[in-house]
Amino acid sequence: MKESDRKFVQAAGHETAYFECGAGAPLLLLHGSGPGVSGWTNWGGVMDQLAENFHVIVPDIAGFGFTEFKEDTHYDIKFWVNHLVEFMDAIGLDKASLVGNSFGGAVGIGLALFNPERLDKLVLLGTPAGTFVQTKGLAGAWLYEPSVENMRSLMELFPYDTSLITDELVQSRYEASARPGAQDALRKLIPQPSTDGETMVKGFPEKAVKNIKAPTLVLHGREDNVVPVQCGRVLSENIPNSDLYVFGQCGHWVQTEQKQKFLKILNSFIGGGQA
């Protein structure tokens, strides 16, 4: 696919950007947060391979990427899950498996808890859970002011191997981050870094994720400097039907940094049983 293949549909009062390709069992891919993030920047590198086996749908979450941000909208997890459900309705999708990267995983957890009938299997990549000290990556995302130089510095905090940060990626994310309202939307999601001591970040609590019924695969980079690997352990220890896979020499972008392993594990889990 090309980035120019982006389509739009109305969902929850927002013009919603998305990509769609392939045939087979439906598979939703949800991007994370961070300045300039979009479905394309998170998933463009694996869409075509996944489309060989699945009907792949990649939306931009409300307020992010190329989906609308509205000043008068109260964005929270219930809104984002409702937006996702209305997006599914708009494209005629009754039920799907879902792969969520970071914040996208949090939205996936919300779908599993609030609308479990719309979810088949759940895959969580670098997803926050429990309570943890705000990392340099999350603090940097809140403090970011749009410029190419600032974007490059921030992106270098995400992967284990910084050679993955290409000029094309930096430029693409910078352009998206400079859209009106983009940084405002992000700052509604991430706590403002404290100038006096540690800042605590709260993901879904343990007692909530214990109620997830969907078969779940938790994937996490061992060297994740954005969402610490302890979050993956919290999820796997509390979601009843779940497995955990930790990738060595891997930061926050499992699907990019460990692409071939990711594709093999995901195809096995979604297409068959537990990986």
> Which residue type is seen at 48?
D
Task: Point out the residues that are catalytic.
Answer: 102, 224, 252
The phi and psi torsions of 99 (rounded to 5 degrees) equal -115, 120
What are the DSSP E strand ranges found in 102-235? 119-125, 131-133, 200-202, 216-221
Give the neighbor-by-neighbor strand order of the sheet with 119-125. 7-11, 14-21, 54-59, 25-30, 96-101, 119-125, 216-221, 242-247
The phi and psi torsions of 56 (rounded to 5 degrees) equal -95, 130
d(CA 199, CA 264): 37
Q: Is the dihedral of CA 93, 95, 99, 100 positive or negative?
A: positive
